Amino acid sequence: MKKFILIFLSIFFIFIISSCNDNQKDNNEENSNGNNNNQEEIITTNKTLVAYFSQTNNTKKIADYIIEIEDADELRILPKIEYTAEDLVYYDETSRSWLEQNDENARPEIKNSKIDLTNYDVIYLGYPIWYGYAPKIIYSFLDDYKDSLAGKKIVPFCTSGSTNIKNSVDELMKLNNEVMWFKGMRFADSSSKEDVESWINNMIGLREEKTIYDIKMRISGIDINFDIENNESTLDLLEKLKKKDITISANRYGGFEQVGPLGLTLKSNDVQMTTSPGDIVLYSSNQICIFFGSNSWRYTLLGHINLSATELTNLLNKELVSIQFYLA
C-alpha cells in the first residue's frame, strides 16, 4: 500500500512540474511577441531605415511598401502621450494637434528609446500632412538624432489627399543642414506598391557613391551655398565633374543674368519658365545662366542660390564673373 501511494505521489508531482513549465513557456512567448512589436529595439541588418509616424495607418501602408521593396529596417515613431480622437479634430483651435502645429517650439516627446543610426546610409522619413506640414513629432525626431544624422541621405515621404510635400520638407531642412535631403514624394490613400516602387527606382542619386548633393560652386572665388535640383541634367553634370572641375567665364547679359559656355553638353529638359533671382539654369544644353533679375524663356532648372536680391546683385551685376563647379 505504501509503495502504491509513493508511486501515485511521484506521478502527481511530475504532472504539476510539467504544467508549470508549460505555463512558463506560454508567458515567455507572450513577452517575446510583445517585444517584437516594440520599436525601441532594432537589430541593424541593412543600410536602409524607414522611420515614420502614422496615426491612422495611411503612412504605415506606404512605409510597409518601402520596407519590402528596399529590404529595410523599420522604426515606427511613437508619441509618449498617444493622440486621442479629440486631439485630432481638424481646425479645432483647442485641440492638441492644432496647438502643436501652431507652436514653432512644440516638440512632442517620443516614446521609443534612441537607436544607433551608425550603419544606415539612407533613411526614409515618413509622416502624414497636418495643417500643411509634418507633425511636430517629426521635428522631435530630427532634433533628437541631429548629430547621428550628419552625412546621411534622408528621403521624405508623406501621405495627403492633395497637399504637396515641398513646404513640409523646406521646414524640416531648416532643422538639419548636415544631411543630404531628397525632394521626397506625396502619396495618396490609393497609392499602390507599384507607385512606390516606380518612385524609388527613378530616384536619381540615391545609390551613387557621389551624389548631386556633393556638387559645389564658387563664383569669383567665393563659395556659394545653393539648393540643387534632382534631375537628369544635374546627374549628367555630376558625371562630368567626376572627371574634372568645370570653370565658366560668364558675361553680364540684359542687366539680369550672367551667362557663359560650359564647354560641353549636358542632358536637358527645357520648359518655358519665368526665372527668379538666384535661379541657376541650363540654356541650350551647353550654357549656364545665373540670374540676379528675371527673364522668361525655355530653360532647364539646375538649382537656386539662397541670397537676398541685394546680395545677388552685388555678386553678379558685373561685366565678368568666374563660375566654378566641383565635387566636395
With 90 as the cut, is the pLDDT of residue 297 above it? yes
**217 and 155, same structural domain?**
no
**255 and 196, same structural domain?**
no
Q: Which of 170, 201, 232 is the last residue of a domain?
A: 201
Residue 90 lies in a domain: yes
Residue 15 lies in a domain: no
Output the domain CATH number for residue 112. 3.40.50.360
The reported pLDDT for the residue numbered 209 is 63
Range of the domain at 267: 212-327
The reported pLDDT for the residue numbered 202 is 84
Q: How many domains does the chain have?
A: 2
Nearest residue to 130 via CA among 76, 58, 49:
58
The reported pLDDT for the residue numbered 80 is 97
Residue 34 lies in a domain: no
Q: Which long-range contacts (CB under 8 A, 24 or more apart) does 191-197 make?
A: 191/62, 191/159, 193/65, 193/68, 193/69, 196/62, 196/65, 196/66, 196/69, 197/65, 197/69
**137 and 64, same structural domain?**
yes
Nearest residue to 173 via CA among 186, 182, 162:
182
What span, in angstroms and rounded, lies between the C-alpha atoms of 260 and 251? Answer: 6
Span 204-221, average pLDDT: 82
The reported pLDDT for the residue numbered 239 is 87
Residue 283 lies in a domain: yes
| pLDDT bracket for residue 184 (50, 70, 90) | very high
**94 and 65, same structural domain?**
yes
Range in 36-45, 50-59, 294-303 with the lowest mean pLDDT: 36-45
Bridge partners of 181, per DSSP, are: 154
CB 158 within 8 A of CB 54: no
**173 and 273, same structural domain?**
no
Residue 150 lies in a domain: yes
With 80 as the cut, is the pLDDT of residue 283 above it? yes
Q: Which of 179, 201, 223 is the last residue of a domain?
A: 201
Span 263-282, average pLDDT: 96
Q: Which of 154, 181, 201 is the last residue of a domain?
A: 201
Bridge partners of 283, per DSSP, are: 287
Which range in 1-15, 30-44, 50-64 is most confidently predicted, on average pLDDT? Answer: 50-64
The reported pLDDT for the residue numbered 142 is 98
**67 and 118, same structural domain?**
yes
Q: What are the tens digits of pLDDT across the range 136-146?
A: 999 999 999 99
Q: What are the tens digits of pLDDT across the range 23-48?
A: 333 333 233 333 333 344 444 446 89
The reported pLDDT for the residue numbered 208 is 56
More confident residue, 41 or 177: 177
**254 and 172, same structural domain?**
no
Output the domain CATH number for residue 316. 2.40.100.20
Range in 169-183, 245-259, 290-304 with the lowest mean pLDDT: 169-183
What span, in angstroms and rounded, lies between the C-alpha atoms of 217 and 215? Answer: 7
The reported pLDDT for the residue numbered 76 is 98
With 70 as the cut, is the pLDDT of residue 10 above it? no
**64 and 191, same structural domain?**
yes
**184 and 60, same structural domain?**
yes
Mean pLDDT taken over the chain: 87
The three state secondary structure string of the chain is CHHHHHHHHHHHHHHHHHHHHHHHHHHHHHHHHHHHHCCCCCCCCCCEEEEECCCCCHHHHHHHHHHHHHCCEEEECCECCCCCCHHHCCCCCCCHHHHHHCCCCCCCCECCCCCCCCCCCEEEEEEECECCECCHHHHHHHHHCCCCCCCCEEEEEEECCCCCCHHHHHHHHCCCCCCEECCCEEECCCCCHHHHHHHHHCCCCCCCCCCHHHEEEEECCEEECEEECCCHHHHHHHHHHCCCCEEEEEEEECCCEEEEECCCCCCCCCEEEECCCCEEEEECCCEEEEECCCCEEEEEEEEEECCCHHHHHHHHCCCEEEEEEEEC
The angle that helices 136-144 and 166-173 make with each other, rounded to 10 degrees, is 30
Residue 10 lies in a domain: no
Phi, psi of 196 (to 5 degrees): -65, -40
Residue 12 lies in a domain: no
**148 and 61, same structural domain?**
yes
Residue 30 lies in a domain: no
With 60 as the cut, is the pLDDT of residue 322 above it? yes
**216 and 197, same structural domain?**
no
- Inter-CA distances, 109 with 61, 81, 141, 233, Å: 24, 8, 9, 42
Sign, Cα dihedral of 175, 177, 181, 185: positive
With 50 as the cut, is the pLDDT of residue 8 above it? no
**253 and 190, same structural domain?**
no
